[in-house]
Structure formats: C-alpha cells, structure tokens
Amino acid sequence: MSWGITDRIAGFLARAARILVFLFMVGPLFFVLLMSINPQVGVFPPHAISATWYQFLLSRSDFRDGLTVSLLLGLSVTLMAVVIGTLCAFPLARVRFMGRNVLTVIFLSPLIVPEIASAVALLNFFVLIGVISNRFESLLIGLTIIAVPYVIRVVTGSLVGFDRSLEESSLNLGASWAQTTMKITLPLIRPSLLAGALFAFQASFTNVTISIFLSSADVTPLPVVLFSWMRFSFNPSLAAISTLLMVFTTGLIFTLEKLLGLDKLVGVTSGFSPSI
C-alpha cells in the first residue's frame, strides 16, 4: 500500500504548495487593502476601519483630473485599438501574403519590446515632429500602439478557428462580403472583440511607463499622478487607490472569464474557440 501513502503525501504537498504560493502573491495585496482602510498611519494591525483615505482621494483635484484623463484616454484608445486591431486581424488571419509572418511580428512587437524603449522612442518621435508633442493626441497614439497587439491577438485567435462555411453560405444566399462580415462574422466573434476591448482599456488605463514619458502638465493620466504622489508624499491614500485598481482589474478578469466562458456555455455551434 506504499502507493497510496505516496499519493496522499504528494497530494498534501501539492495542496500546501498551492496555498503557500497563493498567500505569497496575495499577501502583499491584502496588506495594502488593510492599509487603505486603516485611518491611522503606521499602526498595524488597524484598530478601526474607515474610508478616510478614499475620501481624501476624491477631494484632491489632481486625482479627479487624472481619473478623468485616464478614462477619456482609455475609451478613445479602446475604440481606436479595436478598430485598427480588427482591421489588421482579418488579413493576418486569412490571407497568405508574402511577408505575413514578418508583419505579424512587427504588429505584435509592442508586447515584446521593453516598454521603456518604446516610451523613449515615442517621446523622441513626437518631439522631432514637434506638431503634437505634449498633448492628448500623443498619449492617445502612444497608448493605442501598446493596446493594438492585444486586440490583434485575441481577434486573430478567434478568426483562425472560424467556420468559413458560414460565410460561404451567406455569400451563396446572396449577401455581399460587407454584409456577410457585418451580419455573420462580426456577431460571431463578438466575444473576442469585447475581450480585446477590455484588454485595450486595461492596457491604457493602467499604463505607467509610456504615460510618464508622454504626459505633460495639462494632460496627466492617473498612473502618472499617483507616481508623483509617491515621490513627494507618502500616505495611505496610495493604498486606497491601489486597492481600487486591484478591484478594478479583478473585476475585469472576471468579466473576461464570464464573456469567453459564457460563450462556450451558450454553445456556438460553428465550433470556433476564442483564445487569448
């Protein structure tokens, strides 16, 4: 019966390892959460729970401005990234043209190239042009460049497994290519479009490096505001915003799970699987 014992020991160790890793990763975050609801600085564990720091956040105009800028940027970047990304995804996924692999790598490169390199390059570029440096537009362009690869990856993933006979059927029944794309293809890849949009929003909203390099006195995204706070004044309101961002990101992940998971439940019979 040594088999059974070994199995059980192995199982126990595996579970223990999992729990430890989980605690290790989540621990600091939990700590931050505690800090954010602790009205007294430097006292741990907290004696009381209060929303002081959250209120503090909202009272600061630079925070509110930063939030507004980030939201506006986020929405615009999402829109542009989804449109550009989807347009790119179709030929990349479907047409076998010369240089396709090279082009794919180029389009996805922002994911691989260290962000600081991209940030410096972008800043220099905009300064060189001179026309749109230090404005909302440069941030928009810079963040879209970062966001597009996410959209391309998600959308090509679902296009590759897409059942073309559905499109053929549509054409056969008299629809033009445009009608077929609008009525058949896009609705069926909608989950991956949404997933791409969420990725894009997340990528731009939480982006630090490029935002720092491209921001200016009038246009400061939220991460940059927080960064400067950290350098000049350390108070638990940072913990508060961190907690908020964590909640936000977690919510995003759950939504994505639901989107792509729900889709499988609903049972799209065309047999494609959206993949990230």
Partner 1 sequence: MLENISKTYAGTVAVDDFSLSVQSGEFLTLLGPSGCGKTTTLRIIAGFVSPDKGNVYIHGELANRKAPNQRNTAMVFQNYALFPHMTVFDNVAYGLKLRKMNKTEIAKRVKDLLELVRLPGFEHRMPRQLSGGQQQRVALARALVIDPDVLLLDEPLSNLDFKLRQQMRFEIKSIQKRANVTALYVTHDQGEALTMSDRVAVMHQGKLLQVAPPMEIYNFPRTEFVADFIGESNFFPGKIVGLSSSIATVQTEKGLELHAVLSPSLQAEVGDAVSVSVRPERIKLLRSPVEGINTFQAEIENIAFVGSVIKYYVTVRDHKIVLEEHNTGASLCSPGETAYIQIGPEDCFVIPNVQQENQAGI
User: Of 110-118, 126-134, 201-209, 263-271, which part binds partner 1 (CB under 8 A)?
Assistant: 263-271
Which is nearer to partner 1, 171 or 212 (by Cβ)?
A: 171
Tell me: does residue 171 bind partner 1 (CB under 8 A).
yes
Q: Which is nearer to partner 1, 124 or 165 (CB)?
A: 165
Please report whether residue 166 would count as binding partner 1 according to CB under 8 A. Answer: yes
Q: What is the total count of residues that contact partner 1 (CB under 8 A)?
A: 20
Residues 214-253 that bind partner 1 (CB under 8 A): none
Interaction of residue 174 with partner 1, rule CB under 8 A: yes
d(CA 115, CA 206): 13
- Return contacts of 263-269, CB within 8 angstroms, 24+ apart: 263/191, 268/188
CA distances from 199 to 75, 129, 160 (A): 12, 30, 19
Compute the least distance from the CB of residue 86 to partner 1, in Å.
Answer: 18
Are 197 and 78 in contact, with CB atoms under 8 Å apart? yes
Site for partner 1 in 180-199 (CB under 8 A): 184, 187-188
Among 2, 101, 172, 233, binds partner 1 (CB under 8 A): 172
273 binds partner 1 (CB under 8 A): no
Least CB distance to partner 1 at residue 276 (A): 21
Q: Is 163 in the site for partner 1 (CB under 8 A)?
A: yes
CB of 195 to partner 1, least distance (A): 17
Q: Which of 175, 208, 244, 252 binds partner 1 (CB under 8 A)?
A: 175
Please, which residue, 166 or 208, has the CB nearer to partner 1? Answer: 166
Smallest separation, CB 219 to partner 1 (Å): 41
259 binds partner 1 (CB under 8 A): no
Binding residues for partner 1 (CB under 8 A): 163, 165-166, 168-176, 179, 184, 187-188, 267-270
